[in-house]
Amino acid sequence: MNKSALQLARAAYQPKLPKGLQGVVNLKAGKATQSVGDQEEIKKLFPNTYGLPLVEFVPSEGEQDDVNPKMNVGVILSGGQAPGGHNVICGIFDRVKRLNPDNKLYGFLLGPSGLVDHKYVELTADIIDEYRNTGGFDIIGSGRTKLEETSQFESGLEIIRQLDIKAVVIIGGDDSNTNACVLAEYYLANKTGVQVIGCPKTIDGDLKNDQIETSFGFDTACKTYSELIGNIERDANSAKKYWHFIKLMGRSASHIALECALETQPNICLISEEIQEKNMTLDDIVADMAATIAARAEKGDNYGVALIPEGLIEFIPAVKKLIAELNDLLSSEEYMADAPADRIEWLNKHLSADNAPVFSSLPRVFAEQLTGERDPHGNVQVSLIETEKLLAEMVAKKLDDMKAAGQFKGKFAAQHHFFGYEGRCAAPSNFDADYCYALGTSAAELIARGKTGYMAIVKNTTAPAEEWKAGGVPITMMMNMERRNGKMKPVIRKALVELEGKPFKAFAAKRDEWKKNTCYTYPGPIQYWGPTEVCDRTTETLALEQSK
Amino acid sequence: MNKSALQLARAAYQPKLPKGLQGVVNLKAGKATQSVGDQEEIKKLFPNTYGLPLVEFVPSEGEQDDVNPKMNVGVILSGGQAPGGHNVICGIFDRVKRLNPDNKLYGFLLGPSGLVDHKYVELTADIIDEYRNTGGFDIIGSGRTKLEETSQFESGLEIIRQLDIKAVVIIGGDDSNTNACVLAEYYLANKTGVQVIGCPKTIDGDLKNDQIETSFGFDTACKTYSELIGNIERDANSAKKYWHFIKLMGRSASHIALECALETQPNICLISEEIQEKNMTLDDIVADMAATIAARAEKGDNYGVALIPEGLIEFIPAVKKLIAELNDLLSSEEYMADAPADRIEWLNKHLSADNAPVFSSLPRVFAEQLTGERDPHGNVQVSLIETEKLLAEMVAKKLDDMKAAGQFKGKFAAQHHFFGYEGRCAAPSNFDADYCYALGTSAAELIARGKTGYMAIVKNTTAPAEEWKAGGVPITMMMNMERRNGKMKPVIRKALVELEGKPFKAFAAKRDEWKKNTCYTYPGPIQYWGPTEVCDRTTETLALEQSK
């Protein structure tokens, strides 16, 4: 591997551990738990892993628990990359080796399919040392295969037996951790003796609840995007001639957009959850944005920055309705029979009176993006719409109308950006490096104590790392029943932005000033060395949520 | 101003100065100089500023030169933003105040037009302290007005007289510095006593020659882009399912793309200058890329990263010819008379036999981008073409053909990125912070010594800052005559990538390996603190060019 100067220097960083995971480690168990909803159904589906207690690792003066018999562990990276995944694996490795130098750690390759297809590698010290404090999931690769079928569980069991593996750690988001719990339940019900432990990963920030303060990677990804947004704000404020429309990854939830807004104080930041709550139309959004742009132009400020969450379009109730009808129409017999030369024209004629105006309000190129290629289920692909361009184009049109009506006297020129891949594999911040290493260490200790169906957790994360509290949460505790593809399923409740939560309220309290004035903040790049207030800062979201 | 933790901490950084600018400063003059070309013409055009000697500031044990009479200075930021512009201004400020605390520094607002239109602000210590070591040009704003007309010079002179300004510093690229020299000559010829000093700015890296080792901002911008490219490479190498096509700013020259390639070792990096030299067609480029993709797919690697310089399209000789004919056709009487409903179809019929196939090889959406909006001179706008998408689309088509012919068995899915605004206003690296502060300090010392028509320079920049050599170069020395808009003009020769230069040769020696194998390097974000090999590194380009 070719290493940059930073990577070489950063390899020497020793992540900090909470006191409870240093020295002698003991486990304190709390009371039995309940799921956050649908207790009866969840209990019925998870008879063996339901109701387990929360557990915490506590510093101890006494003897070490006797947890050192030889054990092998397997680890899987599931889903999209998030900074710090390598450090979770390093944490597991270091702790299983401390527990017993003969212990082995196996990595299943390219995600959950590695377990099913028996593709794996033994992670030795040589390999591990190449990946300490680095970004990416390239140590073993990741993948999106879902572990849901009994045949997969059984196939996995074969290789688990062959490698004498005691437990599998699944590092993933809400769905992957739900599946980890299903797997834990299956292996327990079938008395295989194989344990399964989850780890809360996702840059999107939507795996978060009373037990999980933050998912790993959110800190680093948001800081990387905020660096870029801050640089663009400074450019906007220097050149004074462009509006920058910036779309940000984050799937459904707007956590990333909100965090970046708190970090950079842009003129506009759309929050999907609020747009849905207020039942806003696409035209409402466009009119709001145009009004902000016109108000700034009044002061001579023909520039600005607007943040747009990736999932926006599906949170606009009217667009959601339109999409449902488009899915129906495009798979209808009438459409097939007509095989129209002009798809858009045909749809304009056949859409219901409610949906037709919404569709015809879309500039043609976006109507084409939306109704062109469909996914394997025959659904239109919302993700193909370049929302940042769609909004800029519709805003430009609205401003033209306003200009004709004498309501806008300025200039409007837009630049577009979409940030996602730029941050998912950044080298983890000190926070994520420490947090992930502690999560991995916790996972290893949970395994050594025979736990299964747990997720490794670390709390009190706004305090210095020494004071963090590591432990485990029964995955069933975070579950409820939700409809997925037409069926009720046990799932970990996904955390969207709460409009009553402190981060949103902090944003809402300031955004009017940010709109009018230029209040940009320039966070700059992540620093690994230097003053602690620079290099050990948490996200604004976490600081606000954990504030008293 | 709202300040981030980094900005607050970074404000305290004291840029390092070369020994020659510390303590007692004295000036050593070299021999008379000549322009790099067309000596007779240049001498005729610049009778007063031609042939001046190179000068260098040298550390001295003796007495300070007597250079302390009161003087006021004006400063202008010209053209696109580049990291470090604020530090040039801080360097000027600190030194004019050290020379005499009664000296004043005025900033002309929003570029050269501030001088012409008498828009200015006095830069006081309070203001300056807000901008130390920050990115952006927002302290006084920038603009693209060209100083070329006598009326502008005369209007500028009015405000210069009014503010009792002794000298104006113009911080800009090659064109701005050419104009600075014209202004210097004019003020000298007219015995106004007003001096003009230039400063070498541009992230594009094309203002570079025997006297100017690098233009400021290139270091920080390239490092910011390389951070993002490295992150994307790590994502590509983790997910193993996308080819990322990344376009990079840089105008005509491919210096930024080349530097980023040396930093990150991508699978493909196109160099416009080489494509022109080899007389490659668009189809040649597409075929080359497709061959690389197919070769990686053979090994099971259906992913990769390709860097594309912004200026590429105009360096493809066949496309350049096509564009010339399109400009003619679209402004022809025949076109106007026909007013065709389908522009593309009309053009396909009317283009010459040479150019028609090139035009029809463009996917329709790009043919439309190219021939849609024209610029104020009636020319097609090449910059509207999204080259990164054009290439990805053409490569996909080529790979489909290869698949049909059994020459490609892999998968190809592309993601697109364009980086430019993300780096132009980044907070300057330690290198740019020091370099710019030294340039500003040099400029102030040149002014105190009555110099005009000079550019401030700093050499020996791969050594520690203490050993740098600061001084000035007569701007005429870097000039030759070139055709611009049909007229021969004196201009500073623009530096394109030299195919015989060390940076290109270092790239060319390794790129075949980078194509086949995955040799990615992940530079990570710019560090301001930490090990010196991390935070004080120069660009690879500079290190290679200055290597013996």
Name the nearest CA neighbour of A326 among A364, A352, A365, A361.
A352
pLDDT at B172: 96
How far is Cα A519 from Cα B3, in angstroms, rounded to an integer?
A: 10
Residue B392's region, left for phi above 0, alpha for psi from -120 to 50, else beta, is: alpha
How far is Cα B66 from Cα B47, in angstroms, rounded to an integer?
A: 28
What 3 state SS string does B108-147 have? ECCCCHHHHCCCEEECCHHHHHHHCCCCCCCCCCCECCCC
A529 and B530 within 8 Å at the Cβ level: the answer is yes
pLDDT at A67: 61
pLDDT at B533: 95
Whole-prediction pTM value?
A: 0.96
Name the nearest CA neighbour of B516 among B227, B295, B271.
B295
How many CB pairs below 8 A link A and B? 191
How far is Cα A524 from Cα A521, in angstroms, rounded to an integer?
A: 9
- Cα B311 → chain centroid: 12
B524 and A7 within 8 Å at the Cβ level: the answer is yes
SS3 A165: strand
Number of H helices, E strands in chain A: 22, 15
Chain A residues 357-396 with a CB less than 8 Å from chain B: none
Chain B residues 508-547 with a CB less than 8 Å from chain A: 519-531, 533-535, 537
A434 exposure class (CB count in 10 Å sphere: 0-12, 13-18, 19+): buried
Written as tens digits, the pLDDT of chain B (548 aa) is 789 999 999 999 999 999 999 988 999 999 999 999 999 999 999 999 999 999 999 988 776 666 688 999 999 999 999 999 999 999 999 999 999 999 999 999 999 999 999 999 999 999 999 999 999 999 999 999 999 999 999 999 999 999 999 999 999 999 999 999 999 999 999 999 999 999 999 999 999 999 999 999 999 999 999 999 999 999 999 999 999 999 999 989 999 999 999 999 999 999 999 999 999 999 999 999 999 999 999 999 999 999 999 999 999 999 999 999 998 999 899 999 998 989 999 999 999 999 999 999 998 888 988 888 887 777 787 778 899 999 999 999 999 999 999 999 999 999 999 999 999 999 999 999 999 999 999 999 999 999 999 999 999 999 999 999 999 999 999 999 998 877 899 999 999 999 999 999 999 999 999 999 999 999 999 999 999 999 999 999 999 999 98
Could you tell me the CA-to-CA distances from B243 to B144, B249, B267, B306 in Å, in that order? 36, 20, 10, 8
B239 and A142 within 8 Å at the Cβ level: the answer is yes
Rounded to the nearest integer, the mean pLDDT of chain A is 95
Torsion of CA A340, A341, A344, A347, to 10 degrees: -10
Question: Beta strands A304-309 and A268-269: pairing type?
Answer: parallel
B2 and A417 within 8 Å at the Cβ level: the answer is no
Residue B136's region, left for phi above 0, alpha for psi from -120 to 50, else beta, is: left
B111 to chain A nearest CA, in Å? 10
Which of the residues A94, A174, A175, A204 is marked catalytic?
A: A204
pLDDT at B375: 77
Identify which of B141, B426, B524 has the shortest CB distance to residue A240. Answer: B141
Residues A71-104 as b/e (b if ≥16 CB within 10 A, e otherwise) read: bbbbbbbbbbbbbbbbbbbbbbbbbbbebeeebb
pLDDT at B50: 97
How far is Cα B50 from Cα B474, in angstroms, rounded to an integer?
A: 7
Name the nearest CA neighbour of A455 among A128, A213, A134.
A213
How far is Cα B109 from Cα A238, in angstroms, rounded to an integer?
A: 11
How far is Cα A53 from Cα A80, in angstroms, rounded to an integer?
A: 30
Q: For the range A298-301, what are the long-range contacts, defined as Cβ-Cβ under 8 Å and sequence gap of 24 or more?
A: A298/A409, A298/A410, A299/A516, A300/A410, A301/A240, A301/A518
Name the nearest CA neighbour of A249 among A381, A418, A401.
A418
| The B165-172 sheet, strands edge to edge | B25-32, B53-59, B469-474, B454-459, B195-200, B165-172, B72-77, B104-108, B120-122
Chain A residues 62-91 with a CB less than 8 Å from chain B: 80-81
The tens digit of pLDDT for each residue in B467-515 reads 999 999 999 999 999 988 778 999 999 999 999 999 999 999 999 999 9
pLDDT at B484: 81
| The A165-172 sheet, strands edge to edge | A25-32, A53-59, A469-474, A454-459, A195-200, A165-172, A72-77, A104-108, A120-122
B137 close contact with A: CB closer than 8 A: yes
Backbone angles phi, psi at B547, to 5 degrees: -75, 150
Q: Quick one: angle between helices B218-239 and B430-448, nearest 10?
A: 170
Chain A residues 3-42 with a CB less than 8 Å from chain B: 3-7, 9-10
pLDDT at A369: 86
Spans of chain A, pLDDT less than 70: 63-67
Name the nearest CA neighbour of B434 among B532, B516, B507.
B532
Best to test chain B binding among A132, A231, A364, A381 (most B CBs inside 10 Å): A231
Question: Beta strands B454-459 and B165-172: pairing type?
Answer: unpaired
Chain A residues 167-226 with a CB less than 8 Å from chain B: 224
A72 to chain B nearest CA, in Å? 25
Return the bridge partners of B459, or none: B469
Residue A118's region, left for phi above 0, alpha for psi from -120 to 50, else beta, is: left
Total count of residues recorded for chain A: 548
pLDDT at A384: 81
How far is Cα A273 from Cα A124, in angstroms, rounded to an integer?
A: 45
Output DSSP code: residue B456. Answer: E
SS3 B415: strand
Say which residues have a Cβ less than 8 Å from residue A512's Cβ, sequence separation at least 6: none
Instruction: Please give the ipTM for the structure prediction.
Output: 0.96
Give the type of residue at A169. V
Q: Which residue of A has its CA nearest to B536?
A: A5
pLDDT at B64: 66
User: Would residue A206 show up in a list of annotated catalytic residues for this protein?
Assistant: no
pLDDT at A386: 92
Please state, as a whole number, how many other Cβ atoms lie within 10 Å of the Cβ of residue A37. Answer: 14
Best to test chain B binding among A1, A2, A3, A4 (most B CBs inside 10 Å): A4
The H-assigned helical ranges of A339-487 are 343-350, 356-360, 364-371, 387-404, 421-424, 430-448
Q: Which two tokens stand for residue A429?
A: 């911040």
Please state, as a whole number, how many other Cβ atoms lie within 10 Å of the Cβ of residue A411. Answer: 14
Identify which of B81, B228, B523 has the shortest CB distance to residue A238. Answer: B81
SS3 A273: helix
